[in-house]
Amino acid sequence: MMNVLMFGWEFPPFISGGLGVACRGIAEGLTQQGVKLSFVLPTTRGQAIEAGFRILAADEVRLSAISKKALQKLSSRLEEFEAHFSGASPYATGSYSPAGQAAMLREEQIQRVFGPGNRSSVLDFSGNYGRNLNAEVAQYSVIGEFLGLTEEFDIIHAHDWLTFPAGVRAKMASGKPLVVHVHATEYDRSGDSMNMAVYDIEKNGMDQADKIIAVSYYTKNIIVNRYGIHPDKVAVVHNAVDRERGAARGNVRKPLNEKIVLFLGRVTMQKGPDYFLETAHRVLRVLKNVRFVMAGSGDMLPRLITRMASLKIADRFHFTGFLRGIDVETMYAMSDLYVMPSVSEPFGLTAFEALLYDVPLILSRQSGVSEILKDAVLVDFWDVDKLADRIVQLLTNETLARTIVDRCKEQVRHIGWENAGYRIKQVYESLL
């Protein structure tokens, strides 16, 4: 049986964003394919998680003393990596370059971290995205190194940049193949105003990986063109539908007999919430019996609230803040139209979620999910006039809206996490 050491930063119910939902689905899909899985999270906050695979909390891993033989093995691995990458491209520089990683590990004096004086040492993690995030990512990489020395596995699989250093250090310690899974890039999140420290971590993880999995061809193109990775190194495995979710729309009553247009996601530049707001203003000039709902939180929220007030649409545009669980399901079930105006969307699982509630879709062309939902209405994120026209069209033509839902549901009928698990297992097998 294939044994995989998997690193992830999110997992429901702790953080239920798209990354966490995808990680859970992938892990379950791999388990259905007969893969033995150990999933490492920063913390489970002391709670038990029901899963068909082993879950390890990094803040419960005791950095007990390891054998002298294991230390010698690690030292040897680091020397190999330093020698191999000594002539690496200057594109990857600093402490997150391959050679820099190796040197950093040696400077940490591994004997001090893992030696007899730390038999019961544990590291603290919040598992959030707060001000200590960089420190927690570094600490998490120490756990990756330790597990690389002490666990038995065949493949290392790391999800997104937060876990790439842990995956790299586990590879250094064990010599086992590394797969990095790119759910989003810093280019998606920030455009040309990238955080170069995050970019360097992503670039280094991709360089050191034996294989890269992208969630869409859209994301693969970014990896190739923005990170300089050879196309042959990148496999595409689309995300999937969680068919267990979904509720009968008839079970949810709207408070008012009005059409509801929904935006659900982080209120950040990447998701295009400002385009949604400007579009709402245009639609409300034509249709009065409509309410727009922005469900989510993020750094753009104060600015958008101010802009909404200046447009004088406060009675028709509502901010719910961050929603989770049953509140998300209720919001989908109440909605007549879901709009995803993302500036750069690697995939877009929320489109699948909206379909589970029979909600018609308008999607950004700049998204991975549009590769699958070809019969959704597709609009360039910046074209607010066209987006407004399409919203009016779907809200006033129920036959067209129903046709779009039916066609899109047919397109995802055979897309499940078990299929994604099968594709990922094939990637693993190509490395063994």
**pLDDT at residue 214, as a whole number:** 98
Length of the chain: 432
| Kind and range of the H or E run holding 355 | helix 349-356
What secondary structure letter does DSSP report for 211? Answer: E
Token pair of 93 as six digits:
């520089």
Can you tell me the distance from the alpha carbon of 278 to that of 293, in angstroms, rounded to the nearest whole number? 13
Do 249-411 and 3-240+420-431 have the same topology in CATH? yes
Instruction: List the pLDDT tens digit at each of the 432 positions of the chain.
Output: 899 999 999 988 776 678 999 999 999 999 999 999 999 999 987 777 778 899 999 888 877 655 555 555 555 555 554 454 444 333 344 444 545 554 554 445 455 455 554 545 677 787 777 778 888 888 899 899 999 988 999 999 999 999 999 999 999 999 999 999 999 999 999 888 889 999 999 999 999 999 999 999 999 999 999 999 999 999 999 999 876 655 555 566 666 789 999 999 999 999 999 999 999 999 999 999 999 999 999 999 999 999 999 999 999 999 999 998 889 989 999 999 999 999 999 999 999 999 999 999 999 999 999 999 999 999 999 999 999 999 999 999 999 999 999 999 999 988 899 999 999 999 999 999
Domain 249-411 has CATH 3.30.565.10: no
pLDDT tens digits for range 393-419: 999 999 999 999 999 999 998 889 999
Domain extent listing, the chain: 3-240+420-431, 249-411
- 395: which strand partners? none
How many CB atoms sit inside 10 A of residue 198's CB?
20
**Radius of gyration of the chain from its Cα atoms, rounded to whole angstroms:** 23
> What pLDDT, on a 0 to 100 scale, did the predictor assign at position 144?
94
Q: Which CATH superfamily is domain 3-240+420-431 in?
A: Glycogen Phosphorylase B; (3.40.50.2000)
**What angle do helix axes 196-208 and 217-227 make, rounded to 10 degrees?**
100
Q: pLDDT tens, 73-120?
A: 555 555 554 454 444 333 344 444 545 554 554 445 455 455 554 545
**In this predicted model, what pLDDT tens digit does every residue of 297-317 receive, in sequence order?**
999 999 999 999 999 999 999
